[in-house]
Structure formats: C-alpha cells, structure tokens
Structure 1
Amino acid sequence: MIIKKLFFLLFFISANTFAQETLIWKRYIGEISNPEIPKLFDYSYAGYKLGEVGIPKAQKHLKVFNVMDFGAIPNDTISDQQAIQKAIHAAEKNKGGVVFFPKGEFLINVQPKKVNPITVRSSNIILKGSGWGKNGTVIHMKDHMLKRYPDEPEWKVSYMFEFYSNTKKTAITHITSNAKAGTFKIEVKNISAFKNAEYIQLEMPFNLNAVSESLAEKKPRPHWEKVNNEGVTFIENHEIKSITGNTIILKDPLINTINTDYNWQAKPFFPLENVGVEDIFFKANFKDKFVHHKNFIHDNAWSVIAMQSIANSWVRRCRFSNITGAVSIRNGYAFSILMLLIEGNGGHKLTNVAESTRVLTGLINDATNNGQFHGASMSHKTSGSVIWRVKTPKQGWDSHADIPKNNLVDMYEAAKMTAHGGYHKNEPHHLKGLTLWNYKRVGDTVSDYNFWSLSGKGMYWGFSAVNPIVVGLHGTTTTFNKTNVGYIEGLGRKVLPESLYEAQLKYRLGIRPKWMRKNLKEWHKIEKEWLKNE
C-alpha cells in the first residue's frame, strides 16, 4: 500500500513537472508587466449568478406539480404531452413551481398533426426528473417536429421544449457618456424606462466606422456582406445593481468600451428568471446517418430544449440520445449548461449559445457514434461566455459566425481545431478576445492552421477569428500561421493554471467557490458510472 501511494505521488509530481504556470497568467495577476504579453479578458463572470454561487440543490420554496396528477402515466403507449403541458400551466398560474417527473418513461410528440412544442412562459418553473440513469425519468420524443409553414427554413424548426419570455416592448434610450470595458457604470438619457427593470440590454447598432478597429486592421473577405455593407454590432445583457439619477450601476463589468459617437443605446430587458431543466433522460429517434443541411429533419426536427430571453437559469444533469440538437440558448444572461451526456446516433448540434452574455457551457461528453456535427458553440454576438471541460472526441467546438466577442474555450477535448459553421455572409466567426486554453486535440496532425485565410474554395475559406490567444494547446501535433495569432504560449504541452475559467473565478472571489468543487466531483462520478455501464 505504501509503495502504491508513493508511485501515485511520484506520478503526480512528474506529470506536473511538465506543466508550468504561464507568463500570460502572471501578467493577468500582476506578477509581471511585460507589455508584449496581452492582458487576458476576465471570463470569470460566466454562468448562473455570474459564477458566484451554485445552482440551488432544491427549490423548497416552490410548490411541486407532479405530472401524474395531471394525467401522465409512465410506461404505457399513450401520449403524456397534454398532461405535461397542463402541469406547467398550473405551475405558471401559481407563479412558479417544480414540474416533477417520477421514475418511468413518458411519451411526447406522438404522431403530431401540427407544430406542438411544450412551452414555458413564466419565471420560477423547474422541469425536474428522477435522474437520467437506470430507474430514472425518460422523456421519449416519439416523432420529429413539423414545420410551422411549408417553406420554413430548416434551421428554424421548433425545438420540443421551448422556454421564452414575452418581453415587453419598451422605449430605447441613448447612453450619454463614454465608458471603458471592465467598468460597471453607464449614464443614460432617459432613466424612467428602467423604473421596474432588473436587467438591461446595451447595444451598439451596426456601424461601419467600428469595423477597422474590430478587425484589428485585418482585411475582410469580399463575400462578408454584413461586415462590409453594414459594419459591426455589439449586444450585451446585464443585471442592474442600483440606479442613482441617470447613472446605472451594473452587477458585472462592461464587455465593450462604449463610445457615444457610435450611437450606443440601452433598453430594459425582461427575461425569464430561475427556470431550469434537470435530472432527465431525453430520448429521441433520429436514426439516419446525418447529412448537413439535407432537410429540416436532419437540421433541427429532433432537437430538444430551446430557451430565449433567459437569465440566472440552467440546464443540468441531463442525458440525450438520438437527437439533432440538445440545448439552444438565445438572448440569455448568466446561464449555466452543465453535466450533459449525448449518446446514440450523431446529429447536427451539441449546444448553441447565441446573442447571449455570460453563459457557461461545461462538463459535457459527446459520446455519439459520429459526434454531433457542430460541437459546443458560441455565436451571433455572444460575449463574455465560456465553454469549459467539454469532450467532443470526434468533432470540434463551434463558433457559428455573426461576430461573437471575448469568449473562452477552456480545457476542450476535440478531434478538430473547430467544427465551425455559419452563413458566409455573416462571417467572421469571432472578433477580438477569443482564447483557447489547454485545448487537447485528439485527431489528425494539423500544420500551419490559419485563423485569417484570405483565399479558398467556394464561399467558405475556413475559420476566421481576430488574433486569438492560444495557450497550452496539446495532444495531436498542431502548428499555426503565426501572423494571424495574437499570442501563443505552451504549444504542445499542458500548462498551469489548468483551467483559466476556474483560476480567474478563484482570483476574483478570493476563494474557489464550493459549487465548482462539488460539480467537478459529481461529474467525475457520473462519467465513471456511465462508462462502467456501457
């Protein structure tokens, strides 16, 4: 036993001998001040409640609405969809509730004759199962979703579960003073618009004058119509901490520098809050070999959870089988997608985060046969968000164009550098502030990878990102065209800190939050148990 313990101690010391604390991290924490080393963006605000506390273990203050009390019967051949929707409506009428699924299999979307997603339109609604494993809760999507109208684009077909806020239409006011990125204060012209608001959305409308700086003087590709003809736009959501006069103090720092010459605007944001999905196995029946953009069935019709206009909410501890898409978040803020297992036949998408701020996507294993075609994704003006400890060993992560900014891919394991997508007219895929940290490649060797190629076949010339930071990329040999990389350190080896998101969060809070340690321990146990049962 003593020899065994000594062996593991020596192995631990040996393994960490090769991992060195990076210069860019030392620059971030102020140990060195070399101006040639860029200052990292602070990604630590990503996730539920800005990463400061964990998702509640239970919602004891909310009434429980058991779907069986509304007519759902597990393990039979009759659809339970109407009963599930009735339970949700009852919880909404109660101004909140836990919609509970006992053990067993519940059927939904059985021979649908029209588009009929299960909807949640109120805050404080939690869909909670009895676990994703053996003797847990299975929600079985028997048939695929239908189009809402005959010529509906493939990618717009409804997901099975749709959470969305009926956002109030409100007047837009202008921001009246310049403000630096990283600060917490803005001045607005009309403060009365925020009288009853807890959240705020800031937007710089499309602006051609901001293009050159946003692209770091790089030349755009000729077919990038949106950037070339309209310019760039930025959107960021925040929670309001306090209001004094015409000054609004935010709970998290500005992501962009606000230049009033660019017509920055502000409006109240009314998202759903404290909604979640947890402890459920979602089983679907997409069995075809996936073909990208073949039709609406391959693109979206077997997709499960979509949430729009959401804040301080989550999807966690869920399992998905034979799907085209797992989770999609649009116009979200301070959201966490954690502990997902995807298995069965590979489809179109893993997770997608669009037009969102401070979203954490982490602790995910894509164990499908061919991998989801697009891995964990951040796109469409998403900013300040993190992809953390995700495994897509047959594919790669995705930045789906339309100029996201200041996002982190942290401890990702993938076969490819990216499995990117997005309409070519909406490229580039990412603006400034993209960091790849301890990215592990397990696929083929890649040489001279170019983040800003200006030639290629057709309209897709490869992934395009403005001067990304690459630190600790290891595994399969990978080299880069250094002209189009902002900074490289530790190429070919794992570095310290192991996780940038974890290190930044600990540095900001002064202590590693308990939720992080508990989630990592729980996820390790879940993965181990799942592998044992395979």
Structure 2
Amino acid sequence: MLIFVLLINACETIPKKVAVDNQNIPEESRARESMIWKNYTGETDDPKIPKLFDYSYAGYKRGEHGIPETFEYHAVFNVMDYGAIPNDTLSDQEAIQAAINAAELHQGGIVFFPPGEYLVNVSPIKSNPITITSSNIILKGSGWGIHGTTINMKDHMLQSYPDQEEWKVNYMFKFYPVEKFSEDAALIISSAKAGDDVIEVAKIDPFKDAKFIQLTMPYNLEAAKTALKGKEARPHWEKVNEKGVTFIEFHEIDHIKGRRIYLKDPLINDINLAYHWNAKPYTALENVGVEDIHFKANFQDEYIHHKDFIHDNAWSIIAMSKMANSWVRRCRFSNITGAVVMDNSHASSILMLMIDGNAGHKLTNVTKSSRVLTGLINDQTNNGQFHGAAMSHWTSGSVIWRVKTPKQGWDSHADIPKNNLVDLYEGSKMTNHGGFYKNEPHHLEGLTLWNYKRVGDTINNYDFWKLSGKDMYWGFSVVNPIIVGLHGSTTTFNEKNVGYLESLGEFVLPESLYEAQLKYRMKKTPKWLLESLKQWQAMESKWLQKKS
C-alpha cells in the first residue's frame, strides 16, 4: 500500500485577507446587510420578503467536508511505468488508458502524471476517448504551471457515426459507471415538504444495499401550472405545454427504518402524492477526481455558434456522468470548445479552473444534477467562451460561485432547472443563455442572483418573461427570479417579472450567499472553504501577473 501525498506547486505568499477585486467592489464599510438575508436568519420577519432556498448543500460531500489533499490508501499508477514518455512526438494515449485500467483492476488508485507534456488523440481514425468507469480513480498531474503536467490533445474528436449531432460528439476524457441505473422503482406513499429529510416508499427491498437514491416526479401538466406561478407560457414551448414539468433530484441515503428512507440532505421539492413521485436506487461513481493538470487543445478557428461538430464539441475535454462526491479542481484549459460537463450527478465540485487561449463554445455545464458546486473560475480566453458557467436540464440545488467571464455571461440552458444560485459572478451580460426553444422556460422558481457584477454595456428594462419576439427565441425566461446586490454596469429590469429585487446597483452583505448559508448551517465557516479561497487567490494572482 503506497501513501501518496498531494504535491502542490509552490505559491507566492498568500495574503491573509481574501477579497473580491478590491478595486472595483465597494468597501464593506459602504455595503449594508441584505434584508432578505436578515429574513433568512430570523433577524427580521417580513412576510413581503420571500424565503431564500438553502443552497448550502452544494458541492463535494454537500459542502460539509473538503476534497482530500492526501490519499493515504490509494496506490499510485505512474503513466510512465505504462509506456508514456513526456515531451516526445509520440502518442501517450494507450499508456494513459493502460494506467487507468490497472488502477481500476486494483479497485482504485492515483493515475499520476509526472511533469512534462503528454500527447493524446494523435491522428485519430475513429472517436476514441479515454474512459474511466470505476470509483476511486484520480487523475493527478504535477501542477498546471510551466513546470507541471500538460496533456496536449493534438487533434479534434471525430463523430462516432455519420451526421452524429454536434452535442453528442465525445469529450476527450469520459467518466461513467458501466452499471446501468436500476429500473426497480418504488412509489412514494407519503407527502413531504421541501426541506424534509425523510420519504416513505411502498417497498423497501430495492434500497437495502443502495447508497444513493433518485426521486422523480413524472411529467405532469397540473404541476406545471403551479411551477409557472400563474405566468403564461409561450405558445411554442412544446414540452411544458404538452407534457408539463418533471422534477428529478438525487440524494445520499443516511439510513432506513421500516419503509422510511432518511436522507443526508433535505428534499429540494415538495412531494405531492397526486403527482405520483417514485424512488429508485441510483448508481454513481464516487471519489473520482481530476486535478493539477493543464489540458491543451488546438482549436484555432474564430468560434461560430453551431457551425459544425468541430466548433461545438470536438475540442472538449472532461465529461463526467453519474458522479457523487467527486471533483475537478486546479486545472487549466487552453484552446478548447468545452472544459467540463457533469450530468446526472450529486454533491460534487468543479473548482479552481483557469481558461485561456482561443475561445470556443462552452465553459462548464452542470446538467440533470443535484447540489453541484461550480466555482473559482476565470475565463481569460480572447473572446470569452460563448456560454459561461451553466446549469440546465432539471438541475437543482446547485451553485455557480465566484466565476469571472468578463466577455460573456453565465448560462441556464433551458429544460426547467429549479432552485439554483449564481453567487458573486462577474460577467459582461445578464446571461448568454442557450437551449432549444421547445424546452424552455430556462429556469423555474428559486433562481437567485447574488452580488452579480456586470462589466458590459448598459441594459435597460431587462425582461425575464417576454411574450413576444421576432423568431422562436424571445429571450431568457425565468419564473420570478430573486436579484440582490446586482451592481457594476447600469442595469434595469421589467420589475413585474422579477420575484424580488433588492439593492440594485449596490453591493450587499453577506458578500457571498453560498458561504454565508454554509456558515449559518454548520455554525462556522468550513476550513476547506477558507483554504480554497486563499489557494485560488494566490493561483489567480500568479497567473494574471504572468500574463501582464
């Protein structure tokens, strides 16, 4: 058994105080405490102020524990021992896959990349991603700096079959469990409220050996009326008009007593028996990570949205599906069409990413997931990734935190996500949203924008629920968003389509809603969060000094 201690590139002195762009954000002495926050903590009790959703459960192990810095019980599988040779002109892909396969046979391990540049996807003749299909596999480099690890994706991915849709083209690294989702569902037989931590099911046998659980409300037209809060749907929103809405959420099981299943995190949605909610075991990879690597692709075209599969997906790097308690952190991505996508996942984190070089299609996207944290990201590409940090497709209870896309905006890519937070984001636009118009609206209730800093042109009378337009895309559509502390470039709203608006043009306290809610729930700020902020500030400062 080998002990592997995480090696971090030496950083310059880390400032004791962590701040957010002190030159541009108002001093704390000039910021006032938000009224909606006071309502949340019980300091005030104003019935006119809506109750904030508790977003603090987002992230690796629900924000309660930090991602490990050491992995004492993981054997190390050095890619050089399997034939990889850095800094030459030959492909290292087979050697990398062989090291991964060996780690999987060992029931887990660190797949380690010593310093140097490794080549993958060299002159491919078919779509051939590197695959990881087991838990406890960590791809670890020697840092993303000049003397660290670079994985160079020499050529773009190919379509798996002729005319494959551009969004289905493989990413370079694919993480997914081989075991399929269970189809043995059980009806939920007791109503429950959002915030409860227990459900009751008609049969308990499917869950006796399960660690994770998926709760689903089938598409329902009656539920859609409630979800839209009385708002009129656009006529071409086929899914919501013809099928209604569906809700899906994932949880980790704490324990089982009789037919009751107790959860480690609270319900995101109300469970109404009339809507036939069901539960089934959820298979996920756990303790999977990617860290301390520079991923270099070679996308050099001026990006054109949906031009072809090459522009949209073929230079994309990490795709994770069905993850729990997993992560990507401390990585750099250059000349890519997409950095990281995570789908059907739970309680995982995407943290500390630097994106540079030629801009492409996507930054990050969390889709069909519950309680995923995306944060501490800086997009320094020449034109900005077309879509910024994103949450879409039934994603709920998730957070985008301290992300900078100064040339673009964040994204909600439609298909009715719910109860998500955009916290301390810096972007030039309100959003750069996407998604097929038939799958709109872009977001249901529970979207909170907290201390959003706009750095682009003035926007007047921004409307979150337009009911007319020149084509089928009539603009961003959100049910009653909560907007607190939006500042920077002048922005005004059609306030009849805003659920709650406070301190427009003024930074508020607490600085970060995610951090404040996590501290409030746990009675103190977790050590991992403070360390992550310090580490990211040093990394970001070092990188920006290098560029200047």
TM-score category, normalised to shorter length? over 0.9
Give the counterpart letter for 2:423 in structure 1: D
- Matching of residue 67 in structure 1 with residue 79 in structure 2: yes
Pair 1:489–1:14, CA change in 2 (3 A): closer
Alignment counterpart, residue 111 of structure 1, candidates 109, 118, 123: 123
Write out aligned runs for 1:141-160 (5 A): 141-160=153-172
Shift of 1:429: 0.1
Structure 1 residue matching 2:70: 3-state secondary structure: coil
Give the counterpart letter for 1:411 in structure 2: L
> Partners of 1:129 and 1:219 in 2: how far apart?
51
Write out aligned runs for 1:486-501 (5 A): 486-501=499-514
The answer to whether the 8 Å contact 1:181/1:256 transfers is yes
Shift of 1:11: 10
Structure 1 stretches of 5 or more lacking a match? 1-7
Alignment counterpart, residue 506 of structure 1, candidates 519, 523, 530: 519
Q: Over aligned residue pairs, what C-alpha RMSD do you find?
A: 1.4
Residue 515 of structure 1: aligned partner: 528
Residue 526 of structure 1: aligned partner: 539
- Matching of residue 22 in structure 1 with residue 18 in structure 2: no
Structure 2 residue matching 1:139: 3-state secondary structure: strand
Write out aligned runs for 1:396-411 (5 A): 396-411=409-424
Give the counterpart letter for 2:471 in structure 1: G
Alignment counterpart, residue 474 of structure 2, candidates 444, 455, 461: 461
Residue 8 of structure 2: aligned partner: none
Structure 2 stretches of 5 or more lacking a match? 1-18
Pair 1:95–1:14, CA change in 2 (3 A): closer
Structure 2 residue matching 1:360: 3-state secondary structure: strand
Alignment counterpart, residue 277 of structure 1, candidates 290, 313, 319: 290
1:4-40 per-residue CA deviation (whole Å, 9 max, x = no partner) reads xxxx9x9999822321001100000001111000000
The answer to whether the 8 Å contact 1:18/1:493 transfers is no
1:250-302 per-residue CA deviation (whole Å, 9 max, x = no partner) reads 00000000001101010000100000000000000000000000000000000
Alignment counterpart, residue 186 of structure 1, candidates 199, 202, 206: 199
Q: Percent identity?
A: 68
> Partners of 1:247 and 1:92 in 2: how far apart?
35
1:347-389 per-residue CA deviation (whole Å, 9 max, x = no partner) reads 0000000000000000000000000000000000000000000
Shift of 1:85: 0.2
Give the counterpart letter for 2:248 in structure 1: I
Pair 1:532–1:260, CA change in 2 (3 A): same
> Partners of 1:86 and 1:434 in 2: how far apart?
44
- Matching of residue 217 in structure 1 with residue 221 in structure 2: no
Shift of 1:115: 0.8
The answer to whether the 8 Å contact 1:313/1:335 transfers is yes
Structure 1 residue matching 2:81: 3-state secondary structure: helix
Pair 1:12–1:323, CA change in 2 (3 A): closer
Structure 2 residue matching 1:522: 3-state secondary structure: helix
> Partners of 1:525 and 1:82 in 2: how far apart?
35
Structure 2 residue matching 1:336: 3-state secondary structure: strand
Residue 95 of structure 1: aligned partner: 107
Alignment size in residue pairs: 526
Between 17-26 and 197-206, the greater mean CA deviation after superposition: 17-26
Alignment counterpart, residue 43 of structure 1, candidates 52, 55, 64: 55
- Matching of residue 248 in structure 1 with residue 261 in structure 2: yes
The answer to whether the 8 Å contact 1:167/1:269 transfers is no
Residue 161 of structure 1: aligned partner: 173
Structure 2 residue matching 1:361: 3-state secondary structure: strand
1:32-59 per-residue CA deviation (whole Å, 9 max, x = no partner) reads 1110000000000000010011000021
Residue 76 of structure 1: aligned partner: 88
1:50-92 per-residue CA deviation (whole Å, 9 max, x = no partner) reads 0011000021210000000000000000000000000000000
> Partners of 1:337 and 1:237 in 2: how far apart?
18
Write out aligned runs for 1:168-317 (5 A): 168=180, 169-317=182-330
1:140-191 per-residue CA deviation (whole Å, 9 max, x = no partner) reads 0000000001011011100000000123333111100000000100000110
Structure 1 residue matching 2:58: 3-state secondary structure: coil
Residue 342 of structure 2: aligned partner: 329
Write out aligned runs for 1:427-442 (5 A): 427-442=440-455
> Partners of 1:431 and 1:134 in 2: how far apart?
44
The answer to whether the 8 Å contact 2:376/2:536 transfers is yes
Alignment counterpart, residue 369 of structure 1, candidates 349, 357, 382: 382
Alignment counterpart, residue 152 of structure 2, candidates 134, 140, 146: 140
The answer to whether the 8 Å contact 2:319/2:342 transfers is yes
Query: TM-score, normalization: structure 2?
Result: 0.95
Residue 56 of structure 1: aligned partner: 68
Between 249-258 and 10-19, the greater mean CA deviation after superposition: 10-19
- Matching of residue 483 in structure 1 with residue 496 in structure 2: yes
